[in-house]
Structure 1
Amino acid sequence: MDWITELPQRWPEMAPELWLGTLDTLYMVWWATVFAVLFGLPLGVLLVITERGGLTPAPVLKAALGAIVNIGRSLPFIVLMVAVLSLTRLLTGTTFGPTAAVVPLSIGAIPFFARLVETAVREVDRGVVEAARAMGARRIGIVGKVLLPEALPGLVAGLVMTVVTLVSYSAMAGAIGGGGLGDIAIRYGYQRFDDLYLAATVVLLIAIVQGVQSLGDVCVRRLSRR
């Protein structure tokens, strides 16, 4: 535990690097979350409404979308990062840095969030949906005014789980030069055998996860009461 006594002396040296690493981690997680919601939310809804007995039954489309999601979820993230290096370079012009890491993070998060959306939407009481259909509501209206509002607590809980997973993914992105706290942990903590940097990055990652989880729990409780 010598690093506890060393921290006050070395903190001025470490603080700028850790601050930048934290900002890079938050940057990667933020943009990957945005893309996960933009693409994962409609994908998850489609998985529900295209199943047999859904609003728009389409078994072939459902099977195709399900296969895509399953493939995306089955790949370990470290393998996914390497597999999409060419796409990352095409989209961002580089394979290093936080912006480049957003590409594999987003690709990994979209199918993950889509499955959580599917679960949350499927749990909506079918009686509510049938009542809306009986009142003449259109399909798009049922999705926007019934399914999504009724599933909101579950959607928020799924989003929190996705963000927490992205924090851990972003740490792994440091293995191939993605930047962030994971990169600091590898370059300083592992390669230079600096336990103080390693401990500091672990503490910061835990703090980020705890903050996200606590905020998410509060939001879910309030939405559930409503």
Structure 2
Amino acid sequence: MWLDRLWQGVIDTFLMVGVSSLIALILGIPLAVILVTSGKGGIFEAPNVNRVLGAFVNIFRSVPFLILMVALIPFTRLIVGTTYGVWAAVVPLTIASTPFFARIAEVSLREVDHGLIEAAQAMGCRRWHIVWHVLLPEALPGIVGGFTITIVTMINSSAMAGAIGAGGLGDIAYRYGYQRFDTQVMLTVIVLLVILVAVIQLGGDRLALRLNKR
């Protein structure tokens, strides 16, 4: 019974983090590209767009996850029809992680050697070709590293969400560990989370190292 409950908690955590991280990846990279290319001196320079989008990203990135989760309750109910359970946690997790990852990816894109961009422009490459064939490939190792950090952060946030009814390992730690004063449950969940984070961090670091051609 206990092992079944623990296994279900692991599955719920994977589901929450997996779906949220996938959406954050799909939305975060375009956001980062727009932030970089629309800035001063960018290949799609648009200062007004850059300022508005940058302010939008900063607002959501600066709100603590617990407060954001509570503030988004009406929106979460509108999207998934409930404010309780795994799918209800996906909404705030996605909204919190997307701007976080976008800023990390933005830093990696800005570190691309500007000489490569100028060389591509001199060769007559179109601006979108520069994005696809210069910016993104050169920044890929940093983006992978940033995405790894994002996933680790989301695991921490999912545990927090689980403590207020989202399910997952956080829910088990709170309901069966904290509320029942069961130290063994708390330690088991902590060990599982540490292992999960360590495996993801190691895998992400190795992938980023393999992609780094410098």
Q: CA deviation at 1:217?
A: 1.0
How far does residue 207 in structure 1 lie from its aligned partner after superposition? Answer: 0.7
SS at match of 2:166: coil
Q: Using the alignment, how far apart are the partners of 1:53 and 1:103 within structure 2?
A: 35
Code of the residue aligned with 1:90 in structure 2: it is L
CA shift at 1:15, angstroms?
1.0
Within 2, Cα distance between the matches of 1:75 and 1:15?
A: 36
1:48 aligned to which of 33, 36, 61 = 36
Tell me the equivalent position of 2:46.
Answer: 58
1:174 Cα shift? 1.2
Alignment of 1:1-226 (within 5 A): 13-225=1-213
Tell me how far 1:140 sits from its aligned partner: 0.8
SS in 2 for 1:177: helix
Which secondary structure does the structure 2 equivalent of 1:137 belong to? coil
Distance 1:132 1:211 in 2: 38
Q: Distance in 2 between matches of 1:118 and 1:225?
A: 20
> Structure 2 counterpart of 1:102, which letter?
V
Aligned residues: 214
Provide the TM-score with structure 2 as the length reference. Answer: 0.98
| Cα displacement string for residues 143-187 of structure 1 (whole angstroms, at most 9, x for unaligned residues) | 011100000100000000000000000000013211000010110
Contact 2:163 2:173 survives alignment (8 Å) = no
Aligned-residue RMSD, C-alpha: 0.9
SS at 1:55 equivalent = coil
Query: 2 CA distance for matches of 1:51 and 1:204?
Result: 42
Poorly superposed stretches of 4+, deviation over 3 Å: none
Q: Report how far residue 76 of structure 1 moved.
A: 0.3
* Counterpart code for 1:224: N
Q: Structure 1 length normalisation: TM-score?
A: 0.93
SS of match in other structure, 1:151: helix
The answer for unaligned runs of 5 or more in structure 1 is 1-12
**TM-aligned CA deviation for residue 14 of structure 1:** 2.0
1:91-129: CA deviation from partner (whole Å, max 9, x where unpaired): 111011111100000000000000011000000000000
Specify the code of the residue in structure 1 equivalent to 2:2.
M
For structure 2, list consecutive stretches of 5 or more residues without a partner in the other structure: none
Instruction: Assess if the C-alpha contact under 8 Å between 2:16 and 2:158 holds in 1.
Output: yes
| Bigger Rg, which one | 1
Matched residues in 1 for 2:183 and 2:18: separation? 28
